[in-house]
Structure 1
Amino acid sequence: MTKQLIAGNWKMNGSLAANQALLQAMLAGLGSPACAVAVCVPAPYLAQAKTLLASGAISLGAQDVSQHEAGAYTGEVSAAMLKEFGVRYAIVGHSERRQYHGETDAVVAAKAQRALEAGITPIVCVGETLAERDAGQTEATVTRQLAAVIAATGPRIGDIVLAYEPVWAIGTGKTATPQQAQQVHAVLRAQLAGACEQAAGIAILYGGSMNAANAAELLAQPDIDGGLIGGASLSAPDFLKIIAAARKG
């Protein structure tokens, strides 16, 4: 069992004033958590967050990373650039990137590889749509998405964090039941076990509307190693309650 990770994804939210108030409140109430904690902030706020998180109690994360190392890719942010800001984690393959920006499994895999090359841990997101779940394609979808990352990263697959985020439960208020989530996490764990010897140590997060009310039950499942938290990470009291629900590995 690996140490749990609670990672906040602020998405396209925040301001200089709001970020300062939020992070200061988080740090003030954090105490000595049983889990690792990170926040993934919008790129313009990386410098501010790096300063505010200088104590190291909360790790800094980015919400995306370019698949390219450098060059004429206007608007892209490379892994090397993120590393200079002290970024430890980078979300890749979030369903919103796949849906709104047309990111394919191959692109997601390339992004994970770039992050690893720069010494950044990619939080690789996989998940099925409601139509795929209703068609009985959940397992086929998530294993296909993970297989692309396994193929691209090879032996480095043991260095990733994986996040299962059922697309139908993101920002909808709907949440997979603990049993539904555990079932998919177990499938992903088995797939990782076939790819590397460190599968038991790879954190698999749940990322579908986890909140202060349902976190404890989800985090108690044997193969759920933390959460990728959206809306609840914008509220210090809610985020701290989720952190308090985590268990030690």
Structure 2
Amino acid sequence: MGNFSSTMRTLVTLLAGWQAIVWIWTPPRYILPAPLDVLAAMQRQPLFLLQNSLVTLAEVLAGFALGCVLGALTALGMAAWPRLGRLVWPIVLVLQAFPVFVIAPLLVIWLGFGMPSKVVMATLIIFFPVTSAFGDGLRRIEPDLLDATALTDASHWQTLWHIRVPLALPSLVSGLRVAAPLAPLGAVVGEWVGASAGLGFVMIQANARMQTDMVFAAMTILAALTLLLRHAVDRMAPHLTPWAQEQ
């Protein structure tokens, strides 16, 4: 909760500085609108922004959930079957190497302008940090602990589920914390490439009309969604790793 409060104080300070810059230098509104102008833009079209925000939120949540589940399952699969891991890991690295702006147009062509292409885009962005973090946690178990477990009657699967997975959960939480701010990026990039709704669509349309205040309004809402998602992950972390001490 302390981190969230600190973040909010930082945001308030930045907004105050932004407003002061606009008052002092008075740039044209189409170049840099004031925070009060952005607030006015939100008040002019609240329903429009709400509808598009809900579209993006649905894409973000679906992509985040799918990316986390697929990433965790992939990491578990590579830990359970090391030979499979040696085959899968290079594929994961190749997928991560492709820039998102290269993949997004292909997804729109294959899946259309609707929600599926944006969900897949967000899933792909979330997938790598979750897989990488959880996979590292599963691999970096103390060898002495594994050697001691080998002296018991525990099977490979029992060792994986009762020893390696619990000890790797803090690494999974770290991956979720890294992934949370990336999910909105994946959805919005997909909307920039091709969409009929969503905050990315709002930004593209407003930018074409030089409605910079509306662009900033959409960005503000997107930032708020990102912070709330990260805050939700932080609140969930103690329940996943109740034995871990928060730093």
Structure 1 length-normalised TM: 0.28
* Structure with greater contact order relative to length (CA < 8 Å, sep ≥ 6): 2
Larger Rg computed on CA atoms:
2
Q: Which has the higher strand share?
A: 1
Q: Which has the higher helix share?
A: 2
Structure 2 length-normalised TM: 0.28
